[in-house]
Amino acid sequence: MKKFTCATILAACLLPLPCLAQTGDAASWATLLQNHYQVYPDQVYGTANNVELKLDVWENQDTKTPLPTVIYIHGGGWVFGDRAGAVPELLPYLQKGWNVVNVEYRMASQSLAPAAVEDSRCALRWVYRNAGQYHFDTDRLIVTGHSAGGHLALTTGMLTDDAGFDNNCPAEPSLGEKPLKVAAIVNWYGISNVADLLDGKNRRTYAIEWLGNQPDRLALAKRLSPLTYVAGAPPVITIHGDADPTVPYSQAVELRDALTKAHVANELITVPGGKHGFQAFNDAQTLDAYQKIFAFLSANVAGLK
């Protein structure tokens, strides 16, 4: 199995971090990552349309007992992006000493919807299947992502096994009948209503490209929308700027209202003037969001501090 330490990967990422001075100097980060984490890159969690689906595991080496584990899914409107660009988003969870799984999935140019959702669900199954090897605590799994990754985090954590999106995953008899669940979802300005982006004032090119000209695209869009699965969902915290030009802020409000109506623990952090993507929020807003995220997780996930 191929493996290497974090220090090499993050050498280019450590110094530019805008909030580094507030959370520790570069040497402290390097010590934390080099001495305490092992990275297992390019783990193949499935194959679809002749595409190998890969993820990276960041495992804390300080203990061999199961640890809280974050599954991160990158954004890019389902049409671009890769997991390598998501490395800075992993740092807050690595600083907590948690394990992290960084997932890649098929883009629209490789496979139209629902491929990205199917892949993300298969990644969750891989995490369950390999929990013993990498010391993932399946009772303390957090799934998170930004933008399209936020949508995929929501669907990964909210879909049920009978929703029909797990059919392409490798057979896993060892899992038996154990339902695949996550403990909480951290949704950074993700899409909650896919159909809303196909027509009308909120029409977005990336959503049209992802769904394509499939004859049942509106019905499929509903099946791919987290709003369809709010009943019985795990706790959800959403961070969304009210000036977001890419994913309408109304999507976050609609999700909050639906989760509240379904009596699901949830919180919406509204960032005044916040936009979308890189530097969507200023440093203070980002730090405040993470403080609220960890407070929410601590309050809603058993055994999490």
Domain boundary assignment for the chain = 4-300
Mean of pLDDT values over 261-279: 97
Mean of pLDDT values over 210-236: 97
Interatomic CA distance for residues 297 and 305, integer angstroms: 8
Q: Cβ–Cβ contacts within 10 Å for residue 92, how many?
A: 20
Interatomic CA distance for residues 266 and 285, integer angstroms: 19
Interatomic CA distance for residues 89 and 241, integer angstroms: 18
Predicted pLDDT at 9: 39
Predicted pLDDT at 15: 33
Contact 154, 192 (CB under 8 A): yes
Q: Which DSSP category does 78 fall into?
A: T
Interatomic CA distance for residues 48 and 123, integer angstroms: 12
| DSSP-based three-state secondary structure for 54 | strand
Answer yes or no: is pLDDT of 25 > 70.
no
| Per-chain mean pLDDT for the chain | 90
Task: Give 66-104 pLDDT, tens digit per residue.
Answer: 999 999 999 999 999 999 999 999 999 999 999 999 999
For residue 193, which amino acid is it? N
Q: Comparing C-alpha atoms, which of 46, 92, 80 is closest to residue 188? A: 92
Answer yes or no: is pLDDT of 237 > 50.
yes
Residue 175 pLDDT class (50, 70, 90 cuts):
low
CA distances from 119 to 107, 147, 253, 295 (A): 10, 17, 27, 30
| DSSP-based three-state secondary structure for 204 | coil
Interatomic CA distance for residues 266 and 238, integer angstroms: 8
Mean of pLDDT values over 150-154: 98
CATH assignment of 4-300, given 3.40.50.10190, 3.40.50.1820, 3.40.50.1980, 3.40.50.150? 3.40.50.1820
Instruction: Give the lowest-confidence range in 20-29, 123-132, 212-221.
Output: 20-29
- The torsion angles phi and psi of 280, rounded to 5 degrees, stand at -65, -30
Mean of pLDDT values over 19-23: 40
Q: Kindly state the tokens that stand for 152.
A: 């995929």
CA distances from 198 to 159, 177, 245, 255 (A): 22, 37, 15, 18
Residue 19 pLDDT class (50, 70, 90 cuts):
very low
Q: Comparing C-alpha atoms, which of 7, 160, 133 is closest to residue 69? A: 133
Q: Comparing C-alpha atoms, which of 133, 137, 134 is closest to residue 37? A: 134
Answer yes or no: is pLDDT of 22 > 60.
no
Mean of pLDDT values over 18-43: 73
Contact 273, 243 (CB under 8 A): yes
Answer yes or no: is pLDDT of 256 > 80.
yes
Kindly list the strands in the beta sheet with 266-271, ordered across the sheet, starting from the edge strand earlier in the chain: 4-5, 37-48, 51-60, 99-103, 67-73, 136-146, 184-188, 236-241, 266-271
Contacts of 177 (CB under 8 A, 6+ apart): none
Answer yes or no: is pLDDT of 23 > 70.
no
Interatomic CA distance for residues 21 and 15, integer angstroms: 10
Q: How many degrees, rounded to 5, is the angle at CA 102 between CA 28 and CA 142? A: 90
Q: How many helices (H) and strands (E) does the chain have?
A: 11, 9
Query: What share of the chain has pLDDT > 70, as a percent?
Result: 90
